[in-house]
Each structure stands twice: as C-alpha cells, then as structure tokens.
Structure 1
C-alpha cells in the first residue's frame, strides 16, 4: 500500500492480553466486549491520512491485499506515553454544573470543557480526572488483513463520501472526466451535520479521487397519486328486485 490508497481492512487490537477493539463481531462477543451500537464491518481508511495510530499507519504501507499481518506498537507510536499533567483535580460542583446528567463514580466517563476523561477518584468535594487516553502508555498488538483496495472511480467516490459522512444508504454517483455528481441520501435533507460534512467530502474527493468539480443533487420525487374520482368509493348498486309474475285467478265454478 502507499499513501493515498483507499482500503478496507479487518483488524483486532490487543493490549496486555485483552482485546480492546475489533471488526469481528464474534470475537467481540467471545471476549465480552460486544457493543450493540457498533457496526462490525471492515474499516474504510485512506492510508497516511492520520485516522489511525502512527504505528499501524506505517505498517499498512508494507501490507498487500489479502495478506495477514501482525504488528507490535510501542506507546510512542500508539496513544502516547502517560502524562501526569493530564491528571487534574476539579470541584464536584463544577463537574455537576457542566454535566448535570452525569453519574459520578470511580471510572465514570466525563466530558469537561471540551476534554474527555475518566473520573479516577472522589475525595470530599473534589474529584480527580485522568485526561490521558485509556490506552496511553500501553504496548499495542494489531492483527489485521487488508481485504480490498478500492480503485474504481465511482466506488472510490462513494466510499470517500461514507468515510466523511457515515450513512447506511447507497450513494449514487456518476462521473464525467474530472466532475462527479452525487445524488444525496434522504438523510442529508434534514441532517444539520451534513452542512459541515459536505466540505470535508469535497476536500477528500479532490485530494484522493482527483475530482475537481462536485455536484450534490437532492431529489424530490412525487409519488404516484390516484385521481380523486378513482379514490371515491363507488356506491353499491341496489339489487334489482325481481318482478313477480302475476298469477291468474281461477274462475269459481
């Protein structure tokens, strides 16, 4: 692989004998770390884009499609060494004010002033929060397999779209020379996140798919309607009454 290649790959990540992440759902269940919210499918990534830890990014450049690889990554090439300066003490009143719905207990995940951390201790009216990544300072082992390299233009554009704006729907793409027309999924019409994501999509397409012009199309297709006359239920016809055949009166003798 080389920088800029768009690939999908399957992996499992281990540290200290424990599984911490995987694309294999059965393996996640076996190790009691299955997450119902997670989509267990091969991961899409652009090699060298920086979405992965540096050690794994660098090893991907040596990989071939279909090759099973294993790489051991030192903390410096993973999530970094632990930094004691990132362990800070905060008042419980401040934490409750900024996280009114948070349940405060040892090990709770806390979001404070844009920083994500873990509550490691509570003493009196104060709490200690560790803002280090939970894998900081740990050696990581990744076992992975590059399942495919995506090269076809339309498929590459569709995949880059989903990489920057994850959707389950199919993305319809047409390409003419250096221009791409993308019919937007239904969700884009009412999702505020899309208005920011579209700039990332355009930037990614220009950089990795060599597309200059991008057109986004919203479709509003009128459904077939039945005319009012056809909608009105027809009144049932009254059954015709059978005419009684008059009987001749017999003459009295």
Structure 2
C-alpha cells in the first residue's frame, strides 16, 4: 500500500540541519502518523506520498514548507525579574545558547533560546529552533495501512504507535 491521505504511515527518519544530526529514529521506534491531516510539516508529508514499505527516501524541506521563516518579532527582551525563583535570579540558566522552558500567558509550554544577557534584560528568541532552516530527512518507509474511520474522525493514530487513553 502506498502512502496517501488517510493512511497511517510508519517511517524511520534521520533529520539533518546544516550538516548536523538533529533527531533520529529506527525500526524499533519509527515515527507513526496519520497522513493528510496536518500532523507533520507539509514539506515532509507531501514528499512521502506515493512511497511504499521498504522504500528509502531522501528529501529536503525548505523553511516555508517546514517550520516557517524566523520571525524577528519573536525575538524579545525580557526583564531579568522573569527569571527569578523565590526572589533569586537563576544565573545558571542565563547562558547564551541555553534553551529555557517557559510558559505563555495561557500556561502553554514554550521554549526560548538565550541570545544575549544584558544588565537588566535578557534577549530571548521564541522562534521554533528549526525556523528558517532547511531540513534534510533520510529514512525508510516501514509500514503503511489504511486509517480507521475513528482515526480519521479524531485526526490521529490509535493503538500501537498512537496515543493511549
């Protein structure tokens, strides 16, 4: 069976960005997803359509089909007070290049990278770490099956490789 909309695909992948390995999976732990519902970045999914189990792939995804371009408005100066816990500044967190887990106004988790530490403020980049980057995926299609009615209605995979209640 070929990968197409409303199939469930299991693939192994290695993701390289600018020549560096970012993530990798193998057959014991493949990436399993419902195709055609926007779970994956568009450039990855579109280029897998039509491939069958056992087929290897090598695809490049440009930023506009991946995590988008880097948004200059997502780079902000935060007052150092934000990084105080019980009144103490978390100096060890505030290191350039550090990724700090934060929360937005709604309490949703965010990650931001420390770009620069000033006297009173910290310049933080809230862009997705892969924004503005060209992504290079290589891997193999492990399994393809038809999605169930329920999976299509819920918009995600159930059972093995999916989520469990």
The change in CA–CA distance for 1:65 and 1:86 in structure 2 (over 3 A counts) is same
Q: Do the aligned partners of 1:47 and 1:60 also contact (CA within 8 Å) in 2?
A: no
The change in CA–CA distance for 1:161 and 1:150 in structure 2 (over 3 A counts) is same
The residue that corresponds to 1:109 in the other structure is 99
Deviation of residue 59 (structure 1)? 1.1
CA–CA separation in structure 2 for the residues paired with 1:101 and 1:53: 37
CA–CA separation in structure 1 for the residues paired with 2:83 and 2:8: 42
CA–CA separation in structure 2 for the residues paired with 1:69 and 1:101: 48
Q: Structure 1 or 2: larger strand share?
A: 2
The alignment's TM-score, normalised by the length of structure 2, stands at 0.78
2:23 aligned residue (6, 21, 24): 21
Q: Structure 1 or 2: larger helix share?
A: 1
The residue that corresponds to 2:114 in the other structure is 119
1:161 aligned residue (148, 159, 162): 159
Aligned-partner SS, 1:164: coil
Aligned-partner SS, 1:82: coil
Deviation of residue 4 (structure 1)? 1.0
Q: State how 1:8-157 maps to structure 2 within 5 Å.
A: 8-24=10-26, 41-97=29-85, 103-110=93-100, 111-113=102-104, 114=108, 115-151=110-146
Q: Do the aligned partners of 2:83 and 2:89 also contact (CA within 8 Å) in 1?
A: no
The higher relative CO (CA closer than 8 Å, separation ≥ 6) is in 2
Root-mean-square deviation over aligned CA pairs: 2.6
The residue that corresponds to 2:8 in the other structure is 6
Unaligned stretches of 5+ residues in structure 2: 152-156
Q: Cα deviation per residue 1:146-173 (whole Å; 9 max; x = unaligned)?
A: 11123597xx9xx6135123xxxxxxxx
Unaligned stretches of 5+ residues in structure 1: 26-39, 166-197, 199-253
**Structure with greater Cα Rg:** 1
Q: Cα deviation per residue 1:114-162 (whole Å; 9 max; x = unaligned)?
A: 3321111110021011001111111111112111123597xx9xx6135
Deviation of residue 96 (structure 1)? 2.2
